[in-house]
């Protein structure tokens, strides 16, 4: 069964196909972006539960632009040591670990003095109208992504995930709803992402995952076919596509949020491109998780809230499909 099979993506060798997707835990109470004891236990527990790839929550690359004031950050060298402890914990149990690099742009709810966007258009009514980024600030943020990747590399992460989804800054640039600029970043809505990828890739060839909102489910926005055209342009530089959806504007197309509701997007992208995909979204049962892979809709499966409820989800799947040999010695008696 594929869920139990190893896979290699670029140089990243994973022992199985279960992914913990990035999930902000809002546990940085000092608002300084440093890893706390909470994060160490939280990620360590999923490594003990044999998750193949852990993707650490959205981590702010700039001195502004966190999703919230309580997020992890990586804009200073001082953040490296704490992050390296998460890496150590994952590696102790043979899990691989990536970090999600993000700038929240106009969707930031942090107490930063300024919230930027590609254009001065707010996302949701409860958020402020953002300050339109100057070309100079855009270039600075691209450098921030590059520096963040360097720091993540120093911390020992096995891979990086660029957050291009859920209405955060990169997604804001990609969407005609939030990007009405008249300069080159508006003419070519992919340019900001392309330059971030180039900046990171100029440093090293570490496995690069791109998280996308494949469809905005809004008649004014882009759809999955537009996204596939975007992806064709960057495909040569990315190793894996993490397929989510929405988050930039309220949908005005019908979407039924049900188990596996985003899997068709992963399937479509996987069929059109040659890059491995991660499917995500309400994949909570052993059957649903396994079937995504058996039916070739994706190469990996990410389970978010289910891994919050049960850090030993992988062991549950192993038991269900009679692979008790995969259960680590320390928990063996619980799965007999």
Ligand X SMILES: Cc1cc2nc3c(=O)[nH]c(=O)nc-3n(C[C@H](O)[C@H](O)[C@H](O)COP(=O)(O)O)c2cc1C
Instruction: Give the Å distances, CA to CA, from 188 to 131, 175, 182, 184, 313.
Output: 20, 11, 10, 6, 42
69 binds ligand X (CB under 6 A): no
Nearer to ligand X, 221 or 281 (CB): 281
73 binds ligand X (CB under 6 A): no
CA torsion through residues 40, 46, 52, 57, sign = negative
Give residue number: closest CB to ligand X. 304
Residues from 240 through 299 that contact ligand X (CB under 6 A): 244, 280-283
| Shortest distance, position 190 Cβ to ligand X, whole Å | 19
23 binds ligand X (CB under 6 A): yes
Binding segment for ligand X among 7-15, 18-26, 91-99, 130-138 (CB under 6 A)? 18-26
Nearer to ligand X, 142 or 170 (CB): 170
Pure H helices in 156-262: 169-174, 184-187, 191-201, 224-234
* φ, ψ (nearest 5 deg) of residue 210: -115, 120
165 binds ligand X (CB under 6 A): yes
Find the largest Cα–Cα distance for the chain. Answer: 63
Among 305, 309, 320, 324, binds ligand X (CB under 6 A): 305
Contact 198, 242 (CB under 8 A): no
Among 16, 18, 21, 260, binds ligand X (CB under 6 A): 21
Among candidate residues 163, 170, 210, 212, the one with its CA nearest the CA of residue 189:
170
Q: Strand (E) positions, the chain?
A: 7-9, 12-14, 18-20, 53-60, 72-73, 96-102, 116-117, 131-132, 159-164, 207-213, 240-244, 277-280, 300-302
Nearer to ligand X, 17 or 166 (CB): 166
Nearer to ligand X, 158 or 306 (CB): 306
Binding segment for ligand X among 103-111, 142-150, 161-169, 248-256 (CB under 6 A)? 161-169
| Shortest distance, position 161 Cβ to ligand X, whole Å | 8
- Report the first-to-last Cα separation within the chain, whole angstroms: 20
Instruction: Give the Å distances, CA to CA, from 206 to 11, 110, 157, 240, 279.
Output: 7, 30, 9, 12, 21
C-alpha span between 39 and 166 (Å, rounded)? 23
Question: How many residues line the site for ligand X (CB under 6 A)?
Answer: 20
103 binds ligand X (CB under 6 A): no
| Shortest distance, position 57 Cβ to ligand X, whole Å | 4
Residues from 133 through 152 that contact ligand X (CB under 6 A): none
Residues that bind ligand X (CB under 6 A): 21-24, 57-58, 100, 163, 165-166, 211, 244, 280-283, 303-306
């Amino acid at each position: 069964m594929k869920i139990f099979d190893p896979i290699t993506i670029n140089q990243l060798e994973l022992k199985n196909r279960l992914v913990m997707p990035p999930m902000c835990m809002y546990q940085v109470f000092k608002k300084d972006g440093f890893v706390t004891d909470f994060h160490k236990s939280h990620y360590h527990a999923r490594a003990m539960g044999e998750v193949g790839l852990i993707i650490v929550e959205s981590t702010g690359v700039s001195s502004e632009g966190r999703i919230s004031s309580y997020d992890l950050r990586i804009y200073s060298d001082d953040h490296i040591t704490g992050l390296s402890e998460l890496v150590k914990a994952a590696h102790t149990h043979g899990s691989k670990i990536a970090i999600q690099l993000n700038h929240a742009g106009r969707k930031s709810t942090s107490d930063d003095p300024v919230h930027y966007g590609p254009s001065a258009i707010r996302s949701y009514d409860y958020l402020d109208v953002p300050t339109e980024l100057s070309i100079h600030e855009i270039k600075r943020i691209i450098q921030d992504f590059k520096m963040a990747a360097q720091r993540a590399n120093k911390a020992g992460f096995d891979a990086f995930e660029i957050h291009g989804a859920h209405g955060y800054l990169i997604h804001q640039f990609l969407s005609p709803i939030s990007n009405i600029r008249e300069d080159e970043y508006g003419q070519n809505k992919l340019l900001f992402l392309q330059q971030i990828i180039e900046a990171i890739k100029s440093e090293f060839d570490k496995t690069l995952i791109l998280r996308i909102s494949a469809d905005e489910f809004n008649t004014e926005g882009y759809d999955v076919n537009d996204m596939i055209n975007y992806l064709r342009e960057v495909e040569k530089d990315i190793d894996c596509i993490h397929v989510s959806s929405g988050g930039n504007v309220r949908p005005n197309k019908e979407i039924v949020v049900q188990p596996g509701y985003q899997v068709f997007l992963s399937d479509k992208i996987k069929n059109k491109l040659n890059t491995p995909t991660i499917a995500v979204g309400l994949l909570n049962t052993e059957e649903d998780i396994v079937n995504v892979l058996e039916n070739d809709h994706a190469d990996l499966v990410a389970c978010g809230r289910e891994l919050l409820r049960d850090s030993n989800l992988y062991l549950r799947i192993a038991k269900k499909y009679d692979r008790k040999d995969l259960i680590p010695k320390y928990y063996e008696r619980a799965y007999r």
